[in-house]
Amino acid sequence: MTTAPASPLPRFPRDFLWGVSTSAAQIEGAVDEDGRGRSAWDVFAEGPGRIKDGSDARTATDHYHRYREDVALIKELGVGAYRFSVAWPRVVPDGSGAVNAAGLDFYDRLVDALLAAGVKPVPTLFHWDTPQALESAGGWLVRDTAEHFAAYADAVAARLGDRVDRWITLNEPAELTLLGYGLGQHAPGRQLVFDALPAAHHQLLGHGLAVQALRARGATGIGIANSHGPTWTASPAEADTAAADLYDLLLNRLFADPLLLGRYPDDGLAALLPGPVADDLKIISQPLDWYGINYYQPTLVGAPDPAATAPADFAGIRLPPELPFAPREIAGYPRTDFGWPVVPGALAELLRSFRERYGASLPPLVITENGCSYDGVDDTERIAFLDGHLRALHDAMDAGADVRGYFVWSLMDNFEWAEGYARRFGLVHIDYATLARTPKASYHWLRDALRDQEAPREGARG
Ligand code: IFM
């Protein structure tokens, strides 16, 4: 058991944006209501053995019907912003073609409720719930999906753009590429390993085309939420450093370099990608107003064991033996219930590495996700996690990192993809039998910490 922090958090800038995050497929439920189409996750979850606890997200936390209660919880928490995602299959049930006005109505009501509560709505346009009709036609492996995504982005901006001033195009294209198309453990369940790379390019292209669509509607606050974490090398041996470098390229640079530098980190890799890649990169690298980082943990990586023949389980992911790198356990740090090491200092390390690599090309940053899975309502471990990461973030900002906001993952417990409901990331506990919401100790801690941020204090920043 970790003890709760005794001293108040250091002061963040007055205009720092505090928020909480969720995503549609993980909380909304109501999958058959008001004309919503099927998503790749609906279909994937029906497959036997795909969701570890045998659950699905048909009801999830029933946010679709309980959003007013959830907005009241956000307001009481005292954060300034709520990051949610818009479900593409709710808005364009077949992924392309007719727009479902009833689907947009839900987000219209949600945005109005947030604004009435004094909370800034921060919609993510795509958080992994690809419309199944598009998935059946190849999903993100095909270029058309990027074009359809831009048309959908335009429809959402047309409806919400008068009240939304901060947009996120995509959430974590790296995970969808790796887990969904590469290893098959997330929807759509494809096991293409390196042949999954077109899904990375088409998501990035979809991002760029969506940026154009949003700009055409007058949007000025556009970002993306990419997952990043430092890659640590298992040893100085050449085989380990080469393996760690490849892992880092695939998880970090493959997604940040095209956006921030207008090029892929490796010419050989770029040559494998489909389409007019050089022209696409111009679309992908249009300037962003801010760049979102989802940070959870560093990864220690070494060369694979040449004798291994069976898949290895690592932090809930099944890794085939043919991968040219192998993540290893990081010893000496506390772990979350998911087994992820808790390393706040690695957030500061990551922010430093971004400044070094991207320099003047780096727009202001927002931590769009950070959080941990722990059971229980008296979650002192989560308090210690958040406290430690916020102190590390503050140190990084003191050292020069231009970070403008921080969003906790997640407002409430929810459907944690292939893990089902077993992993609880929420500040608010969900009783899945009754759907009752109970704020955890961490919710009360964060509420008090945010109130404390507003109290006058000597020598304060901002
Ligand atoms: O729940 C996920 C979220 O959907 C994307 N980022 C990581 C979270 C925790 O695994």
CATH number at residue 326: 3.20.20.80
Question: Can you tell me the mean pLDDT for 40-57?
Answer: 97
Tokens describing residue 290: 């801010």
155 assigned to some structural domain: yes
Tokens describing residue 329: 């356990």
User: Does pLDDT of 229 surpass 70?
Assistant: yes
Tell the burial category of 217 from Cβ atoms under 10 Å away from its Cβ (0-12, 13-18, 19+): middle
CA separation for the pair 372, 368 (Å, rounded):
14
- Residue 362 pLDDT class (50, 70, 90 cuts): very high
- Residue 458 pLDDT class (50, 70, 90 cuts): low
CB 219 within 8 A of CB 167: yes
Ligand 1 close to Cβ of residue 18 (< 6 A): no
CA separation for the pair 151, 145 (Å, rounded):
10
Domain count, the chain: 1
263 assigned to some structural domain: yes
Q: 380: CA distance to ligand 1 center in Å?
A: 21
Respond yes or no on whether the N-terminal peptide bond of residue 55 is cis (omega within 30° of 0): no
Q: How far is CA 292 from the centre of its chain?
A: 9
Q: How far is CA 1 from the centre of its chain?
A: 28
User: Does pLDDT of 462 surpass 50?
Assistant: no
Ligand 1 close to Cβ of residue 23 (< 6 A): yes
pLDDT at 286: 98
Ligand 1 close to Cβ of residue 369 (< 6 A): yes
Q: 447: CA distance to ligand 1 center in Å?
A: 22
Q: Looking at 28, 135, 172, 416, which residue is catalytic?
A: 172
CA separation for the pair 395, 12 (Å, rounded):
10
CA separation for the pair 376, 379 (Å, rounded):
6
CA separation for the pair 64, 178 (Å, rounded):
29
Ligand 1 close to Cβ of residue 181 (< 6 A): no
The vertex-22 CA angle with 96 and 390, nearest 5°, equals 135
Ligand 1 close to Cβ of residue 172 (< 6 A): yes
Could you give the strand order of the β-sheet that contains 326-328, starting from the edge strand earlier in sequence? 231-233, 299-302, 326-328
Ligand 1 close to Cβ of residue 129 (< 6 A): no
pLDDT tens digits for range 195-218: 999 999 999 999 999 999 999 999
448 assigned to some structural domain: yes
Sign (positive or negative) of CA dihedral 263, 289, 200, 172: positive
Atom from ligand 1 closest to the CA of residue 371 = 9
Tell me the C-alpha to C-alpha distance, in Å, between residue 326 and each of 227, 255, 451.
19, 20, 44
Note if 172 is an active site residue. yes
CA separation for the pair 75, 69 (Å, rounded):
10
For the chain, the C-alpha Rg in angstroms (whole number) is 21
3-state secondary structure of 302: strand
Atom from ligand 1 closest to the CA of residue 416 = 1
User: Does pLDDT of 1 surpass 60?
Assistant: no
Residue nearest to atom 9 of ligand 1 (CA): 416
Tell me the C-alpha to C-alpha distance, in Å, between residue 127 and each of 124, 133, 236, 345.
7, 17, 37, 27
1 assigned to some structural domain: no
Range of the domain at 278: 17-454
461 assigned to some structural domain: no
CB 385 within 8 A of CB 408: no
Ligand 1 close to Cβ of residue 387 (< 6 A): no
Instruction: Give the global pTM.
Output: 0.97
H/E stretch holding 312? strand 312-314
11 assigned to some structural domain: no
| Helical spans, DSSP H, in 231-324 | 238-248, 254-261, 267-271, 277-284
- Residue 308 pLDDT class (50, 70, 90 cuts): confident
Torsion on CA atoms 130, 131, 132, 133, rounded to nearest 10:
-130
Residue nearest to atom 1 of ligand 1 (CA): 416
235 assigned to some structural domain: yes
90 assigned to some structural domain: yes
Atom from ligand 1 closest to the CA of residue 227 = 6
User: Does pLDDT of 342 surpass 60?
Assistant: yes
Question: Residues 6 or more apart from 332 whose CB is under 8 A from it?
Answer: none
pLDDT at 310: 84
